[in-house]
Amino acid sequence: MAKSSSRCCCCSWFIGILVLIAVVLAVVITIRNKANRSDDGDDIVPGPPGSIDKKYADALKIAMQFFDIQKSGKLENNKIPWRGDSGLKDGNEASLDLSKGLYDAGDHMKFGFPMAFTATVLSWSILEYADQMDSLNQLDPAKHTLKWTTDFLINAHPSANVLYIQVGDPEVDHKCWDRPETMSRKRSLTKIDTETPGTEVAAETAAAMAAASLVFKESDPKYSSSLLKHAKQLFDFADSNRGSYSVNIPAVQKYYNSTGYGDELLWAASWLYHATEDKTYLDFVSKNGDEFANFGSPSWFSWDNKLPGTQILLSRLTFFKKGLSGSKGLQGYKETAEAVMCGLIPNSPTATSSRTDGGLIWVAEWNAMQHPVSSAFLATLYSDYMLTSGIEQFSCGDTSFKPSDLRKFARSQADYMLGKNPEKMSYLVGYGEKYPEFVHHRGASIPADANTGCKDGFKWLQSEEPNPNVAYGALVGGPFLNETFIDARNNSMQNEPSTYNSALVVGLLSSLVTTSSSLESFM
């Protein structure tokens, strides 16, 4: 009888535990479901919270491939059949190995400014969404691409106050239409130093190094320490030798002209604080905010303007580091970050009018997709910061919005990009049934077995046949304001991809892979 009673007590205890677990799960699911519903109660995401969204998962796997297409140097485990080793002598004239890195776009240039931005954004994406990437076996490829890029940046920084910022002369490079594997022209180098400073490039490279040091902190501590050392040196170089690279090197103005360096200094200091927790960097963003941060005036996140990214990045401190939540020095960044978010949600009283009729954020003719993708990426980050912190809403004037409203906006931009638009065109090459076939990309346009030089390769630019090689994962420039798109190889305004676009789209898709995301602080 005693044994029987004992078993019954155990049964009751076990059943009680099961009931308690069921109740807790029900509460969690209810909360997460609310986070994934719009104000009118309509579901905005399919499936149970946390489940994989196949559409975005498939798109992410495709988007990651473009990095492999853009790699220079002696390729390792090359998975792109029409790519091979290239740029092996890059850097030779300065006795440096600059063979790695990423080609910028459809040409064979290595521009250090946008390449460093690519590395910073890719690092941020990995830091926030590594679990989502890993669930699709994309984390290791992302880290490999990042290291391929930071290896180049390390080698481009041979001493504290010297940084090589460009490989190749664009005027010479753009007179050719050839495969990177066959180019034989001289690859000139451009550098900044104390006599020819370039604060924005040095600071962006410092941001890239600092962010990447966090990515490799556990898996490769020695490499992480090296990156952090370079980041600190580059920030000191940038801050102590202030001057715009666009002013000091006028030749860059036709390609990546900078509109100022204050945003890069704040961006770099923000990443260095995350990487080191050294209060010196936090003091820098607090003391220099009034001069550089343009508080109260929302802007667009891009390779040239880091302010919105900085505002979101510093806001995460007020969400995750409770001791800083009331910091006066961070208040302006947090308020401006919310102003950026208020400008994105379509039914906000301060919503931007810079949109197509189909709802795509549209700011510029050249590379139109950069701004909606970057805006959507920031929106999902802010949404997930709120969700993780248990913040249920934020205000835009007299109207309140939830994290789900930001995620709904982000999904609308991603869905437009993937084909939900008047042209029914996926602007991510390789995704969907209809995508650009005449991408402005030399390697994709020339057969791998073609024996062409600099000039005779132009016949492939003029060819009326689709590209023989598909540039999988390329995010092209995108539509005009009237939502038209011309799929022509010589239409570089709309049909040229870039690696910094790829970093942004990888970040966005990684954030949308699961139906809701709860983040952890990486500090």
**Active-site annotation, residues:** 440
What is the spatial distance between Cα 243 and Cα 166, in angstroms, rounded to a whole number? 17
Q: How many contiguous H segments (helices) and E segments (strands) does the chain have? A: 20, 5
Q: Could you tell me the CA-to-CA distances from 407 to 100, 506, 523 in Å, in that order? A: 36, 16, 24
Query: Do 138 and 61 touch, CB atoms closer than 8 A?
Result: yes
What is the spatial distance between Cα 249 and Cα 159, in angstroms, rounded to a whole number? 20
Token readout for 286 is: 């607090």
- Residue 201 neighbours by CB under 8 Å, 6+ apart: 112, 113, 116, 163, 165, 192, 245, 264
Within 10 Å of residue 159's Cβ, how many Cβ atoms?
Answer: 9
CA 14 from chain center: how many Å?
48
Helix boundaries (H) for 136-261 = 139-155, 170-173, 199-215, 221-240, 245-248, 253-256
Output the DSSP codes for 351-390. ----B-TTS-B---STTTTHHHHHHHHHHHHHHHHHHHHT
Which one, of 116, 127, 117, lies nearest residue 275 by Cα?
127
